[in-house]
Structure 1
Amino acid sequence: MASRTFFQAFANAAPRRFSNAPFVCTRSITMSKSLLNTESVPSTTTTDTLVPPADLLKMSMRRSGTTTTTTTPYNVNIAKLLAAGLHLGHSTSLWEPATLPFIFGTREGISIINLEHTLVYLRRACNVAREISLRGGSILFVGTRPGFQDLTIEAARQCEGYHVSSKWIPGTLTNAHQVLGRHASPDPENPGRIPKTYKPDLIVLLNPLENKIAISEAQLNKIPVIAITDTDYDPRLVTYPIPANDDSIRGVELVASVIASAAKDGAFRRKQLMDQKEKQSRFSRSHPQRY
């Protein structure tokens, strides 16, 4: 009854009388100094003060999109590999016994890949790609599975390499004059001479199960191969295996971009060394030593 009469008096009170009369409450309320400062609190609260403007929202969305960091060999970790789904292998019925050291266990009939081994082998492959690019070698990315074409081309463009995204033609390496000779540019000094073809120094194979011919030709020409090996493929058939899920497009894109970033880093270091040697040669020519 007392609370009801209090609220009735509160509703019937005049505004002028209520503003002059002190507010009485049975409980003591402690307020901070910031709340007691009437200058910082707006007098009227509207929807404009509560909702930020649209331009500010668009700007924050652009900033959040631009601040996303790309995965490189220096910041790749197990969490990123796990988010890309690289730990999911094939069914245990398709298990290859040679992949036993890379398997963490099985769950619901599916082999689980140990991402600690994946990270180690991925970093080793990055070191190989960086060293070959540093020495001026060429890298060939091969990804012929549907859905791998765009990421294969993008990885090759990132490190200024080459790519095969449609189909591996048998004899591309063992019979290069017949397969690639018609696409090579003729010699300007002697147009009648057979065009010269070149072979890659490293092959990055994204789906080795469908490109066994490419692996055989690389072995005959002694070309090292980096390949993503799932639990249904023998990792001993390639030079530098990376135990991971080869069915995840996101995971394959992550592996290809990390290797391409390492190759790009090697090419950048090579350019720096060449510029430094050129500066030293210019300095030695302009300042000859006197004995």
Structure 2
Amino acid sequence: MTSFDDQPDQVFGEHRRLLFSVAYRILGTAADAEDAVQDAWLKWSTADRSRLSEPRAYLVRIVSNLAMDRLRSARARRETYVGPWLPEPILTDGDTADDVTAAESVSMALLVVLESLTPLERAVFVLKEVFGFSYAEIGDAVDRSEDTVRQAAHRARGHVRARRPRFHTDRARRRAVTEQFFAAATGGDLNALMQLLAPDVTLWTDGGGRVRQAMHPVTGAARVAAWFAAIGTRPYQGVDLADMAVEVADLNGGPAIVFRGAGRVIATLSLDLGDDGRITAIHNVATPDKLHAVADGTIHRVEPGQDVIR
């Protein structure tokens, strides 16, 4: 039996990308995912590794349980959250964007759906549907029986399948629509906005009670177009649009808009497209605490996994 006592740093480093990828998909926040990975390292560094033959499964077990514990605590805080709660966006690389399965499994749209699952269901879904672990392996990872895991997987799969957003796979089209949307919104062009928006489009804005945003989802093309047309006519968070630096960057596996001004990241904006290429959902994150992962410029190379509920 191979011992990993002599190379704990190297072994952990080889699996760090996987551990962050698991934790981020379970938690929906990069900061909490990084903390879970760091806590996993502490447990790994002090564990008895003399009889360990498979570090991957062992490390995934540690980080999954740490992530579920953190998610349970976070759920209590989110019950009093002001306005819609959205996941924390992360910068991703071109490899993630080019890999459809990776891009979809880390997309803002799917992470929003996963928020409605219980911590156990979410962990089981991530481990089974994204990373392809067997029910027996997942049972070991989350300290549950195989039957319990199967039941949780069935509930989670059915829930996600019912609410699963469309995922437009044409990266060039997504980027073009993102750029067109920004031009129309900042120019106050209602007609152009209406052409880009699906009739039942929904806008979610996350200000966390610290930044003035819509307190409830805004639905319908006319209302969403009017909301964005108005935004372009006045300062946003005290910064005039003319004084902002705006760029299209890869966030969560797809093109998104990043607004910078007054020495900080002000907000991010990501779009979901339907099969016809029109915008079906918009996720606007402006809570300062959720913009650190974008502001610090760290690019996350998430583990790709497999197809998510085809």
Higher relative contact order (Cα pairs below 8 Å, separated by 6+ residues): 2
Q: Which structure has the bigger radius of gyration? A: 1
TM-score normalised by length of structure 1 = 0.26
Is the strand fraction higher in 1 or 2?
A: 2
TM-score normalised by length of structure 2 = 0.25
